[in-house]
Amino acid sequence: MNQSIVKRLYLMQVGSMPEYEIPVVCYLVQTDDGKNILIDSGLPEIIPEDTSEFVNGQDVIEQLARLGLKPDDIDTVISTHYDGDHAGRHGAFTKAQYIVQRVHHLDAPTNPRYASIRAQWDQPIERIRLVDGDMKLLPGLELIETSGHVPGHQSVLVRLNKTGAILLTIDAVPFGEWFTRDEQSDDDNPDAEEIRASTIKLLDLVEREHFGLVIFGHDAEQWQTLKKAPEFYE
C-alpha cells in the first residue's frame, strides 16, 4: 500500500503579541504524495476582547495562498489545542479532518477558555478524529500528548530527510529558556506539576534521539533564526 512520507515543513507567523514581540505561528507539513497537513490555524479574524493583546499579521489563508494552496487543499488540521491563538481559523478548512486529543475535545465545550472561538473548533464530529495519547500519524509525523498548558495539549514530531527530527513543542514549552529540568518558580499555577511532567517528557525524548531542531511555541528570539515560508525545512 502506498503510504505518505513527510517531505517538507513550513513555518508561518500569522500574528503576534506586540508588547513582547511574541510570534503566533502555524506549521504546514507536506508529504511526498501531495498531502497538506496544517498544524494549528492561528488567531481568529476578529480578535475577542479577552485576548486583545494579540494582533493578526498575514493570516494562514494568505500564507497558504503564497504557497499556491487554497483552504480546500488542506487534508488534515492537527489541532494542538483550542486556545484562541491556535484554533482561530479552523472553520476555514472545510475539506479537512481535524485531529485532536480526545480529553481536550471533550473538555472544551464546558471550558470558558475556548468559548470565544467555539464556532471554529466545534466542527461536526464526523470530521474530527479524536486520539488518545502519543501516536504515529504517518511515517515521519507523530503526535506527543503534553498536557499541562491545557488538558490534552499535543506537541508534534516531524522527521525530515535532511534536517532530521524536528520537535514542535507548541505551548508545552513556549520559550526555549523553559526547556529545562529545573522547577519553574511559577508556584501559583495549579498546573505547574503537569507542565513540568510534559517538559520532562519532551526533554527525555530529545535526549533519547538526536534532534535536528526543537522549535518552541512562542519564542521571539528563536523565531528570528528560523526559516519561514515560503522557505521550508526538508
What are phi and psi for residue 151, nearest 5 degrees? -60, 135
β-sheet bridge partners, residue 164: 160
Q: Write each residue from 41 to 80 as x if it is in contact with Zn ion (CB under 5 A), else as -, in one continuous string.
A: ----------------------------------------
First-to-last alpha carbon distance for the chain, in angstroms, is 24
Look up residue 58 and give its three cell numbers. 498575514
Q: Give the Cα separation of 150 and 194 in Å (integer).
A: 9
β-sheet bridge partners, residue 13: 25
User: Which of 59, 85 has the CB closer to Zn ion?
Assistant: 85
User: Which of 160, 202 has the CB closer to Zn ion?
Assistant: 202
Round the CA-based radius of gyration of the chain to a whole number and report it: 16
Single-letter amino acid, residue 196: R
The 10 Å CB-count burial string (b at 16+, else e) for 187-207 is: eeeeeeebbbebbebbeebee
- The label of the residue with cell 503579541 reads 17
Least separation in angstroms between residue 80's CB and Zn ion is 8
Site for Zn ion contains 40 (CB under 5 A)? no
User: Which of 99, 150 has the CB closer to Zn ion?
Assistant: 150
Site for Zn ion contains 85 (CB under 5 A)? yes
Least separation in angstroms between residue 178's CB and Zn ion is 13
Least separation in angstroms between residue 118's CB and Zn ion is 17
Site for Zn ion contains 145 (CB under 5 A)? no
User: Which of 51, 163 has the CB closer to Zn ion?
Assistant: 51
Least separation in angstroms between residue 25's CB and Zn ion is 9
Pick from 40, 145, 171, 219 the residue near Zn ion by CB under 5 A: 171
Q: Are 176 and 219 in contact (CB under 8 A)?
A: yes
Residues that bind Zn ion (CB under 5 A): 85, 171
